[in-house]
Amino acid sequence: MLNSNPLELIYSNEDPDTYLHNNGTKTTSDLLLTSSDISEHRRHKIIDDPGSGHKPVIASITIGSKSMTRKVPTKLSWNFKKAGWPRFINFIKNKLSTGPLKHPEKLCTAEYYDQMCKENYSP
In a shared domain, residues 56 and 87: no
In a shared domain, residues 18 and 56: yes
The pLDDT assigned to 60 comes to 82
In total, how many domains does the chain have? 2
User: Which domain range does residue 52 map to?
Assistant: 7-61
The pLDDT assigned to 2 comes to 44
Q: What residue type is assigned to position 104 of the chain?
A: P
Task: Give the residue, 56 or 4, on which the prediction is more confident.
Answer: 56
CB 106 within 8 A of CB 114: no
In a shared domain, residues 93 and 54: no
The verdict on residue 33 lying in a domain is yes
In a shared domain, residues 103 and 57: no
Distances (CA, A) of 95 to 34, 51, 88, 90, 107: 43, 65, 11, 9, 9
Nearest to 16 by CA among 47, 60, 43, 40: 47
Q: Which pLDDT band holds residue 3 (cuts at 50, 70, 90)?
A: very low
Choose one of 16, 33, 61: the last residue of a domain: 61
The pLDDT assigned to 75 comes to 67
The pLDDT assigned to 81 comes to 80
